[in-house]
Amino acid sequence: MKFNTKCVHGGGKSDNTGAISPAIYMSSTFSHPGLGETTGFQYTRESNPTRDRLEKLIAGLEDGFDAIAFSSGMAAIDAVFHLFSPGDHVILGDDLYGGSIRLFTNIYEKNGVEFTYVGTSDLAAVQAAFKPNTKAVYIETPTNPMMEITDIRAVSNMAHDRNALVIVDNTFLSPYFQKPLNLGADIVVHSGTKFIGGHHDVISGFTIVNDESLAAQLRLVYKTVGACLSAFDSWLVIRGIKTLALRMEQHQKNAIAIAEWLKQEPKVTKVLFPGLPEHPGYEVNKAQSTGFGGMLSFEVDNEETAKQVLEGIQLIQFAESLGGTESLLTYPVTQTHPDLKPEDAERKGITRRLLRLSVGIEDTDDLIADLAQAFNK
């Protein structure tokens, strides 16, 4: 079954009613046919038919053995880090979503997990960061918000030689453009709130694995901690996925056109988009994915210009989040990454001149026209 078809039919048939849209099972608990017998569902914190359908769908899209649907992307990441114990060491990319950094710094460092941040696009730096107690490497590719690319195959080979796991946040490209498990990664995480859900109307997260033992460990965390996705939210994500392939193509088409337009804008000093041939990660990204996605960042000449654009856009909306049908412009320094130390933010280029654009599925010309009028107010 091809990817586009999986998006529509990959969760299996709905039920025996013939309903095209799957049922939403709003039951918190399920009765047993008899003593020692089960329908396969006991209690919704552990399992639910609507969520089960979504999990089968996501596992199929990522070519995984098992997928688990969480109440948020952060809940999914948190579940993964329950795999580690005090004294364990994890290598982290040094350009990650600010919420992930906040989780690692305020929760897991306090609980005894040791972290080393490195630029994971630099393979020598990754190799140098390994310690005898290293248990995993955690990466985003492309990164948020600096759009850096990491060679998943190379990092996976490096980690597996040392019996360490590789965890990839695949939110920016979605399984439509990139499948990290097929490149050697052990665990994929998603904020399903973003491209997978795709409509800015549901918060969700996912973990996907190929290993039965890892799946069992994550499911134990899942049912114990209880950060499960509700039946209704599962249905919303199933509905969103039906158009995932179509949306990703339009996101990318628009992003390529806007990136090329931004290069010609005099007030733009840098465009960060993996789909530009001059991007340092362009060839690596081409080798491990089938596209470049709909996310880009750009730097302007000064803070005043950044403020002018943020306040001047009319069609594009000034808002956090990403990956939905509507285009969103974000100011990382105050919105997604405010918890970074100023010196760390400055070192990474997350300054008051940096803007991040989640390109929606609107008409390309309308988006460019909106940016043009915002720059020239």
Active site residues: 45, 97, 169, 194
Element (H, E) at 271: strand 268-272
Q: Which residue has the tokens 């950060």?
A: 227
Range 236-268 burial, b when 16+ CB lie within 10 A, else e: bbbbbbbbbbebbbbbbebbbebbebbeebebb
Rounded Cα distance, 86 and 349, in Å: 32
Question: Which of 61, 51, 45 is CA-nearest to residue 5?
Answer: 61
Q: How distant, in Å, are the alpha carbons of 28, 94, 96, 269 from that of 43?
A: 6, 39, 35, 54
Contacts by residues 25-32 (CB-CB < 8 Å, ≥ 24 positions apart): 25/49, 25/50, 25/231, 26/231, 26/232
CA distance 66 to 132: 29
135 phi and psi, to 5 degrees? -110, -20
H or E element in which residue 127 lies: helix 123-129
Query: CB of 239 within 8 A of CB of 245?
Result: no
For 210-234, b where at least 16 C-beta lie within 10 A, e where not — what string?
A: bbeebbebbbebbeeeebbbbbebb
Which residues make beta-bridge pairs with 68? Answer: 207
